[in-house]
Structure 1
Amino acid sequence: MTPSKRLPRLRRSPDAVSPTAHYTGHVWARNGLGPAELDTRTGAVLHGLLAPLNAVSGRLGGPTLEGLLLGRHQVMDDLLHAAIKDGRISQVVEIASGMSPRGQRFSEQYGEALAYVEADLPAMADRKRRALEGLPRSTTHAVVDFDALREDGPGSLASVMASLDPTRGTAIITEGLLNYLPPEAVRTLWGRLGAELARFPAGVYISDLHLSGELRGGAARGFGVLLAAFVRGRIHFHFADAPAAEKALHESGFDRVVLHRLDDPALGVPARLHAGARLARVIEAWTEAPA
């Protein structure tokens, strides 16, 4: 398999996975991670509908969707901050960013020193641009139309990456995306990302990943069923364990790969979030091993 293989359509229609964008936007806003402009009424309604199920699971010591979202978001933020502050990374591309506030927060904090590109399907990208109007952010923060089906030309991954400065370290982020893709599509995507990042002095891929072998127990399995119903479609768990995922990432061109456990005390995720957060890992994969 090569990076040139075509990816399947990520969404059956422009609205096929929109509930997750609404829900996560509300979660970020209600927890102080993003501005109210990125929240939606639909997100608040969805959060209210799921609140009883999350509350019951939480009282029983089980996972909650909010715990998963907050835990992975915090760790991904922390990894990106570290890579920027030590000078390795000064450009970011976030694929399928939805209503995530990360681009706005990072561009406001780092200003012109950081180029941040959010890439999403045209309808979502347009909604995001309108939501960001009037919010503080740098002139180097952009939201662009993106279509994973395109191998080249406007809106393709190659086009987005070609718009960046090839002399600057670059990060690619995907959050909440991989579960929508079947295994072969994930490997194809990773191959493309590895090939693109290899063109930069330093490159890092940061993403969440669920391992099927770590979704044991009735609560975890039930959580997977709930998540599939919530996104209105099948979700995929691509690898049984960390070694299998690490092997696939190495084969995709990444030199140094770490799959962080979100309940690792060193990462600082609050203990109250661990039951949900431990359902995911966060990938930190470099195309050039950090010094």
Structure 2
Amino acid sequence: MTERVRADSAHITPSAHYTGYVWFRHQLAEPAFATAFGRWVHGCVTPINWGARLGFGLDIEDFLLQRHLLIDAQLRQAIEQRGATQVVEIACGLSPRGRRFRQRYPQLDYLEADLPPMAARKAALLDGQGWLDERHRVRSVDILAEDGPQSLSALFANLDRKRPLVVITEGLVNYFQRPLIEDFWTRLARVLADFPQATYLTELYPDLREHPRYRQIRWGVGLIGRLTRGGYPLHYRSEAEIAEAFRRCGFAAVDVLNPQEHSAELGLAQGRMPSLVRVIEART
């Protein structure tokens, strides 16, 4: 794998600041997670979002909340119904999920991980608030590293192989071309096979060509790619294709969830347009 391909993962950080500010705005995060850069990016995006909402019924923050809250709901289910006591959140960025879930479930071991610069910033944030301890930690990881100290195997090395585990990636998948992300899923499934029960929660934006606002979506995707100096490819044409891809990568059971079908339980409005995002729960 070339260094140029590996460097693509560095493009994710600006969106981490933006989403961190969105979580704060919607009372899902404490003020420490809202950065000045995140506030500035949010201010830049707000007129675009306003126009998309008014003209096309599309709202970026709605989609962000849909995925975030549905992943939260599936994580609670894994903890309360399947006894998960270990959580690894990869590409954690400025996600407040670790803080919220450690407050709600003190028995959790919560490991957050990201590329070294983001991991260092997240560790400093949590430590500065007195939130880090032996059950809440931050590590560096590069999902494209096949071996070495930042590989998946190194990240999972000190976890308890006798206890159920949940792995989360949010806001990660669509920054990578399909072969790269499927390679990551294959290596992740191989690591998770060592645990008695393992659940992987993530979200992706499929290539929904039948969506009534498909042309506007493609324009928005191009804009995101320019803002992040990378790309934002849409993967798969249907929920069946998504499920088949995860099974091909080594997951035994796959549920593809449409957040719009869970709007009431998530406390969200139904929305004028079909949801663009899908949340995946894959189990080994």
Does TM, normalized by the shorter one, top 0.5?
Answer: yes
Matches within 5 A, 1:234-249: 234-249=231-246
Match of 2:219 in 1: 222
Q: Does 1:140 align with 2:135?
A: yes
Distance apart, 1:154 and its partner CA: 1.8
* Equivalent of residue 83 in structure 2, options 84, 88, 113: 88
Q: Deviations over 1:82-110 (max 9, x none)?
A: 11011431111111110110111111221
Task: Map 1:265-276 to 2 at 5 A.
Answer: 265=262, 268-272=265-269, 274=271
TM-score (norm 2): 0.91
Q: Does 1:252 align with 2:249?
A: yes
Residue 276 of structure 1: how far off its partner (Å): 7.4
8 Å contact 1:67–1:276 — kept in the other structure? no
Instruction: State how many pairs are aligned.
Output: 281
Alignment check: 8 A CA contact 1:71 1:273 kept: no
* TM-score, with structure 1 as normaliser: 0.89
Distance 1:194 1:210, change over 3 A: same
Decide whether aligned partners of structure 1 residues 131 and 242 sit closer, same or farther in structure 2, where only a CA change above 3 A counts: same
* 1:60-86: CA deviation from partner (whole Å, max 9, x where unpaired): 352121111111000000000111011
- After superposing the two structures, state which structure 1 stretch, 55-64 or 255-264, moved more: 55-64
**Inter-CA distance 17–252: structure 2 relative to 1 (3 Å threshold):** closer
Identity, % of aligned positions: 35
Q: Could you say which residue in structure 1 is the equivalent of 2:282? A: 285
Which residue identity lines up with residue 22 of structure 2 in the other structure? V
For each residue in 1:177-231, what CA deviation from the matched residue of structure 2 results, as whole angstroms up to 9, or x when unmatched? 1111111111111111111111111111100011102573333233323322332
Does the CA-based 8 Å contact 2:8-2:230 persist in structure 1?
no
Unmatched runs of 5 consecutive residues or more in structure 2: none
Amino acid at match of 2:241: A
Higher mean C-alpha displacement, 75-84 vs 142-151: 142-151
Residue among 105, 110, 116 paired with 1:110:
105
Structure 1 vs Structure 2 CA RMSD? 2.3
Q: Does structure 1 retain, via aligned residues, the 8 Å contact 2:12–2:172?
A: no
Alignment of 1:169-180 (within 5 A): 169-180=164-175
Q: 1:233 to 1:89 in 2, by over 3 A?
A: same
Unaligned runs of 5+ in 1: none
